Every structure is written in C-alpha cells, then in structure tokens.
A = this chain, B = another copy of it.
Amino acid sequence: MKDVAKDANVSVATVSNYLNGKKVRPDIEEKVKKSIAKLHFVRNDAARALKMNESKCVAFVLPTVWSPFFSELTYWIQRYLNEKDYKMILGISENNYEREKSYVKMSIEQRVAGIISISYSDLNSHVPVNIPLVSIEKEDTGLFPLVSSDNYGGGKLAAQELLKRSCKHLVYVGTENNRYSPMLARQAGFVDQCNDSGVEYDIYTVPSSRKRALFESEVTKITKDIVEIHQRAGHLGVFTYSDETAIHFKRELRANGIRIPQDVELIGFDGGKPYINTEFENSSIRQDVQTIAMNAVEILDEQIVGTMQNNSIRRMIPVTFFQGATTTKLNQE
C-alpha cells in the first residue's frame, strides 16, 4: 500500500480511503486505480483484521461432509454466508471431541467472526461467550442460539405415516449415542405416537456406521428379528433414525426375502439428495436443509453485526414426509 501511495503520489490514508469506498477526488482516484493495477496490489487482510480486530471468516464445524444431508447443508450454508460476504473455514470433526475442540481453538486464534456448529458433544461449552455461535441440531447449554429440525414431530410423523399404511407393529431403529438428544427426540415422538395409537412397537439400537463390522452384524441381527416379527404380526413398519441406516436395512431385508414396501414399510430420516438436481429415492422424513441453513446464517449475522444478543433463540424447522420407493403409495395423496 505504501508502494501504491508512493507511485500515485498520495498518502497511504488516501489509498486506504479509496479502498474502503470513502470520498476521494476523481483525478486522484484515477491515479490510485492505475497504480494499484500497475503494481498488482491486493490489500492484506491479515493486517486489516489485526487493526480492525474483526474478520469476515466464519468457521463451520460439522461431523462430516461426506453424506447427502451434510453436503447439501454445507452447500446452503456456504451460499448464504457468501451472500453476506463471509468466507467459510471448514472443520470436519468426524464426531471426534478432540478435533472439535481443536477447531474451536483455531477459530479463536483466527478471531473468526463467528462459528456455526453441528456437534453432539458439549462442544459449545468450550466457546467463549464473546464469540458468536449458532448451533444446528443440538444445544443444551442454553448459551447459544439453536436451529433445529422438529425431531420430535418427525418421529410422530413417521409413526403416523406407517400407521396410515396399516402397519400392525412398528419398529424404531435408533443409534447408540444417547447423548445425542435430537435422536432421542425422534424416538420420543415415535414412541408417543405409538402409545397414543395403541400400537405395539420395538426399539432397537445400532452403533455408528463408522464401526462397520459391528454395525453390519447388528443390522443383520435386527433384520432377523424384524423378519420374525413380520411372520408373527404381519405388515410391519420400520423407522430408522437416518437414511443411511435405512439403506442398509433395505438391502438386508431384501436379502432375507422381504419385499419393500409390500411386507415391510421403511422410513428413514434426513432426506438429503445426492445431487442438486436429482430426486430422493427412498421414503424419508425430510429435514428442510435450505431453511435450516438460511436461519443459521441469518441468526449468526445478527449476532455478529447486532449489538443485541438474544441467546435464547430457538428456531424449530418443520419436517415433511417424502413418499418414496420404500412405502406404499396411498390413493388420497
């Protein structure tokens, strides 16, 4: 910048003013512009951030980007961040607590403008309250705003849809990590609906699919049970806590001679599309990814620019049922 100033025969302040859109005499502006072009000058953001004590970087911390749901979410978050001129620093935690903490540390070091996080641990308690943070899905400390799908409603909805299809018995397949409250909400909604409707149900649990061998053997075991229940109770409804799990059960049930949806109706959760322009295949309780992203970025931005911080924001996004290949199509729909 000093060089530009020298070359254009003006002071650094003038160059700075020009760069920041302040009023500059037209002839001088011309000269400055020319010098910048000549010297290929680009402002150093590190110095700017240091001086201003603020950056336009937002850290986005999530378990993985390698799944339709999370990659779609990443897409929307990035898009809305970009609209407001934020850059995204991506942090993939793989649900590893240490890595999550290291991303928080990094965020503080970088003096990021804010953090958007999806974490199923108590990550947020490591974030200083002076740095704006919005959680997606889970937050239990009450210290930060939260954007979440209506998991409880989703669980209820899944049960309702299965019951509409005359299932005689329902099954929920959840995940092991019981600290993960959204999953508990899905289960609770499902169970409540079962009880309200007076239908019998079973609850199963699978480990994370990352522990592949364990996961597979558990799926196999549960599938055997489901086959047995089917033989005993007839038409059956299965609701899994994620689409990924549903895919595995679909495969395994079919391998055991079960027809889907004629014998067993199957509903997953998430509804992320693999590509931007394809349709989703299996029946699922869909999260409204775009709205979640929009809200998260909006709230974060308000926290960053606004003086008023309302940390008790709890925004619940409705879910919808998607009629796909794994449930019977109803006439009235």
Using a CB–CB cutoff of 8 Å, the interface residues on chain A facing chain B are: 40, 42-47, 49-50, 55, 57, 60, 64-68, 70-72, 74-75, 78-79, 82, 87-92, 99, 105-106, 108-111, 128, 209-210, 212, 215, 244, 247-248, 274-278
Is A244 a contact partner of B109 (Cβ separation < 8 A)? no
Is A64 a contact partner of B75 (Cβ separation < 8 A)? yes
Is A90 a contact partner of B105 (Cβ separation < 8 A)? no
Is A89 a contact partner of B92 (Cβ separation < 8 A)? no
> In the complex this chain forms, how many copies of it are found?
2
Bound: A49/B67 CA distance, A: 34
Question: Which of A46, A248, A274 is most buried by chain B, counting CB atoms within 10 A of its CB?
Answer: A46
Bound: A44/B51 CA distance, A: 12
Bound: A278/B281 CA distance, A: 16
Is A66 a contact partner of B57 (Cβ separation < 8 A)? no
Q: Return the chain B residue nearest A60 by Cβ.
A: B90
Is A111 a contact partner of B275 (Cβ separation < 8 A)? no
Is A244 a contact partner of B55 (Cβ separation < 8 A)? no
Chain B residues near A278 (CB, 8 Å)?
A: 244, 247-248
Q: Given known contacts A274-B67, A276-B210, A277-B215, is B44 in contact with A47 (CB within 8 Å)?
A: no
Q: Return the chain B residue nearest A128 by Cβ.
A: B40
A283 vs chain B, min Cβ distance (A): 17
Q: Return the chain B residue nearest A79 by Cβ.
A: B92
Is B64 a contact partner of A276 (Cβ separation < 8 A)? yes
Is B111 a contact partner of A46 (Cβ separation < 8 A)? yes
Is A71 a contact partner of B66 (Cβ separation < 8 A)? yes
Is A109 a contact partner of B66 (Cβ separation < 8 A)? no
Chain B residues near A111 (CB, 8 Å)?
A: 44-46
Is A71 a contact partner of B67 (Cβ separation < 8 A)? yes
In the A-B complex, the 8 residue pairs with the smallest Cβ-Cβ separation, listed nearest first, are A71-B71, A46-B49, A66-B75, A45-B109, A46-B50, A42-B108, A90-B90, A209-B277
